[in-house]
Chain A
Amino acid sequence: MRRDRPIQLNAPAGDLLSLMAAVDAGADSVYIGFQSPTNLRNLPGLNFSVEDAAEGVAYARQRGARMHVAVNTHPMDHQLEACFRAVDDAEAIGADAVIAADWAVLEYARTQHPHLEVHLSCLAGAADPQAIRFYRERFGVTCIILPRVLSVEQIAAVRRETDALLEVMVFGVLCANYDGRCCLSSFITGASANSIGACAPVEFVAFGESEGGGLRVQLNGVEIHRFAASEQRTYPTPCKGTYANAVTGRRSHVFQDACCLNAMAVLPDLSAAGVDIVKIEGRQRSLAYVRQVTSAWRKAIDALDQRDPLAAGGDGIADLSSITEGRAESLGALAGG
């Protein structure tokens, strides 16, 4: 499938200043969440009031950029109303799209706000053309944010069978588990990441000294990792913990090593596969991080459009290697097998 416009860049914003930085650094769109348990980065001190979001829309629009609002938790019955209000607010401030995963939220957006674009969050886990068809027909979604479980080749196969816009996560946190089906944090803490939008909520995290100058990390009183003194420290989500397996007795990073998704090396392949939008993860990141990552990807995309052979190997990668999580990078599932 041939796109009629260049690949688009979608950047994260955890607050108004980051939004401005992302737009100024060349994002075609930014995505945000409100300050409530309605989106998957519901963290203290992060996210937008409705007023700030309205200002953000105006800033983005004046500069030709779009704004998407994530309402992508799986609310339980008592949380539905808050999610519906978030969709109402997104429409009221003039956002271009809402990003949702739960069927209740998707249906609400479609029936109550038929002019609002609805994008399918990767947390819905739609990795297959038949699943995408269901979401297209039932909820009218126009863009599918693919879960982080597909290779470039598999993405190309999906592309051949759908006319939906396809968005792919290309940089940031690499989740080891199938999107929207990981309850590791919930099992340890009792706080459902799917429903309240926070993995390993900070109020459950405790640090203590470990032998040899290291750092013990507990989540709700459960030890999930011991950082060695020399180890690069990352936010202690359970999937990046170390566990002793009962067969070998060895303690290791069973689910994944602490590393960062960086798909810049396969950007030309993603483009050839017909991906419409590339997405940078990281609403929880600093303004400087958002600016640096967005700018590097902008350069890479522009170089790609100009068929510059340096597209995938330019300064951008060097720029980014210093800020990737754990100082290690991976293509994740995009690498294929």
Chain B
Amino acid sequence: MSWHLVRRWRDKLAAAEPPRFTGLSTEGAVAARDAALGALDDGSLDTVARVDVRAFESAVVVAARTVFTAPLEWCAVLLGRGTRVVLKMPAGEPGWAPELVEAAEACSLPLSWTEDRSVVARHPLVVAMGSDATIAEIRATARADARVLAHGHKFSVCWVTKPESWRALAQDLALYDTRGCMSPVVILTPLPLEEALDDLSVAMARLQERYPRGAIAPMEGAAIRARSALARTVGQERTGFGWAIHVVPTEHIEPTPLPRTPTLVSVANLAEAIAALEPHVGSLGTVGTDEAGSAERWLDGGACRVCSVGKMQRPPLVRMHDGQPWLVTTGRAVWSEV
């Protein structure tokens, strides 16, 4: 067990220079890093340490491009148990991996990184994040006896019923520039539409001042303009420097995240909101809500996780992940009757 080393690793990362190759602005990268490291608090690590599983000897964590901190919690849990971990990063996009590894080496934790795809075939545990196509390829490549924990495309939404929630929601939208699977891609609200647009616009503009949006990929720019065209045709649009809000009818909901570009959908009530997501329910991940009583309804409606508005991208370490008991599945469950 290496939990004390993981704590040291966490503290070293927190004190390091801002992560470099994240695609986010410096302010955005620091906010995302700090949010992710914040989940590795001592109490949570103690709780994870008590989960009764045996460590895999080694594991490979296949990271996606979107959320640069995504491998952090997986590495922390695996390294804490004594598993040797290899981070497989997308070709040409090392992300945070070099800094994670450098800090780990300084703490004598067995973490390394590579761009070599064949590494997937060499470990008994494979944790994979990425597109459905990537996941399918990884499953085909992994060795026959490997355990593959795959996390494909999920999208998240937010249910806002109180005007005071917009500011907190903007935090969810800003973190990782809305690219993560826990970012609210769609916001559903029964509040008066014009007021909702006004309030959310103000919140997003303020957030842009504090955490400027980072770089936009060519395809993202094109996709934002395409969605803008759709909103102008079938709904309406509000834009500011570094952000946009697209209002569309429910039949035009598109569960694909675009940086700082949420879709706002006006609905009459919670039942209508849940029904609006029915065509996409298989990919529904997190639901942020400011209506405490709605949690059960959202879980029944297909959500994997329900949390408060403003906490969507700050999941606690001890939780289910995509509906899976990840703290258990990342170890070897054993049962001895002798």
Please indicate whether A and B come from the same complex rather than being unrelated chains: no
On B, residues with C-beta under 8 Å from A are none
On A, residues with C-beta under 8 Å from B are none
